[in-house]
Amino acid sequence: MNRLADLKALLYDALEAGKYLAPGAEWQPYLKGESLSFRDRGPGHEIPGLLIVAPTITADIATASVMGGSPTCVLIGATLAPQVDLGALRVERVRREEPEPHYWAVFVLAGATLVTLGTPPSSCRLIGEMLNAQMSTPFVQSRVCAHCHALNDYHARHCVRCHRPLMATGRFR
C-alpha cells in the first residue's frame, strides 16, 4: 500500500508540473480506490481524463472505468481481482467508443500487466513513463485475442487460451 501512496504522490507532481491538473485538483474517493481528474489540451479544446489508483482493481472499478463518461481513463492497481477479465472489458470499451479520440489503460503492478486501447495523449504517456521508471521490469503491452478475449504476450503468434492466430502486432518470436 505504501508503494501506491508513493506512486500517487509522484504522479500528482508529474501531472502538476506538466500543467495537466486544474488548480486545486485533489485525489477523490473512487469506489475502493482514489481518482484524480486531469486534462490534455487539444487544438482549441480540452480532453478530460481520470486517473484511478487502487490497491486491487476490482470488477466494480474496472467496469466503472469502461462505462464512465471520461474519454481518457487510466487505472493503476497493485493487483487485479481474479474475476476481472481485462480482455472482455477492453472489447466492451471498443463497443462504447465515440468518434472523438479516447484512451483507456490498465496497469497492474503485480506482473507488470498493461492493457490499452487507443493512442495515449501526452498526459498518459507521462503517466506510463513515470510508472515504468519505478518498475524493475517495464510494462509491456498485452495483446487481446479477438475470439476469446484472453490476454497474450505481445509477441505471441497464437492465443494461449483458444490457440487461434492473433492479429499481427510487432515482431513475432
Is the same domain home to 108 and 52? yes
User: CA 88 → CA 19, 47, 59, 121, 163, distances in Å?
Assistant: 34, 25, 12, 23, 17
* pTM of the shown model: 0.86
Quote the CA–CA distance of 107 and 77 in Å, as a whole number: 6
User: φ, ψ for residue 170 (rounded to 5)?
Assistant: 65, -165
Name the band, by pLDDT with cuts 50, 70 and 90, for residue 137. confident
Of 56-65, 68-77, 115-124, the range with the highest mean pLDDT is 56-65
Question: How many domains does one find in the chain?
Answer: 2
Spell out the long-range contacts of 68-71 with Cβ–Cβ below 8 A and sequence spacing 24 or more: 71/47, 71/98, 71/100, 71/101, 71/102, 71/103
Is the same domain home to 128 and 163? no
Q: How many CB atoms lie within 10 A of CB 150?
A: 19
Span 16-43, mean pLDDT? 93
Name the band, by pLDDT with cuts 50, 70 and 90, for residue 142. confident
Q: Which residue range(s) make up the domain with 156?
A: 142-173
Is the same domain home to 146 and 70? no
> SS3 of 14, please?
helix
Dihedral-angle region of residue 85 (phi above 0 means left; psi in -120 to 50 means alpha; beta otherwise) = beta
Nine-digit cell string for 130: 513515470
Is the same domain home to 49 and 71? yes
Name the band, by pLDDT with cuts 50, 70 and 90, for residue 98. low
Is the same domain home to 153 and 121? no
Is the same domain home to 102 and 84? yes
